Chain A
């Protein structure tokens, strides 16, 4: 069965420093991986996805993610964090290859960027 894990409930970083939000996955077959961001009391916003091709995927708001097949990871990164990046981040794997499934989300990681 497809699954993703986000090992950190919270990540704290100072503004201007690089940030990493971790995600590992477990899939059978080719992984289709996604990152979403959620601001308080809002819906989820799509950041980026990995389908195939380059292992470094660039997305919205200066975020990027690195796909690592050997480590089964898809960590979200940003070179210089902003206070406005503070939000809840979700990693997801696509389960729609199988009937009766949809995107499967991790439990989320709260990113807190301090000024």
Chain B
């Protein structure tokens, strides 16, 4: 069966410090991968998605970047964190398109102080 892992689960970082959140999927190949951010326990904002190695699409301009160095690995990064980057970050995967559900990781809570 397929599983998705995110780490770290919790992170407290000072403003201006770098960030790296990692997501890996097991038990499948060539998945579509997604990073969402959830602010204040409410709505989900799609940040990035990837349909293959090295292929990244960004939904919104921001202080963050994403990379997919391997088929089942998706990394969210920042060179210098802002207070507004605080939130709950969720990685997800699917096979796409259209009819399949997304499968989510357990999330990474980032607090920027």
Contacts and interface: CB of A to CB of B under 8 A. Distances in A.
A45 interface: yes
B104 A43 contact: yes
B26 interface: no
B49 interface: yes
Contact of A108 (B43, B88, B107): B43
Nearest to B43: A107
Interface string B94-113: 00111101111111010000
A42 B57 contact: no
A25 B59 CA distance: 21
A46 B101 contact: yes
Contact of A96 (B98, B106, B107, B109): B98
Contact of B109 (A41, A45, A103): A41
Contacts of B90: 43-44
Contacts, number: 56
Contacts of B11: none
Nearest to B107: A43
Residue of A36, A102, A106 with most partner-chain B CB within 10 A: A102
B104 A45 contact: yes
B98 A32 contact: yes
A88 B38 CA distance: 12
B27 interface: no
Residue of B6, B46, B59, B88 with most partner-chain A CB within 10 A: B46
A33 to B, nearest CB: 11
Contacts of A103: 102
A96 B101 contact: no
B43 A51 contact: no
B41 A94 contact: no
Interface of A: 32, 34, 36, 41-46, 49, 51, 88, 90, 94, 96-97, 100-108
Q: List the 9 shortest-distance A-B pairs measured between CB atoms, nearest first.
A: A43-B104, A107-B43, A105-B44, A96-B97, A44-B104, A46-B101, A43-B106, A51-B99, A43-B107
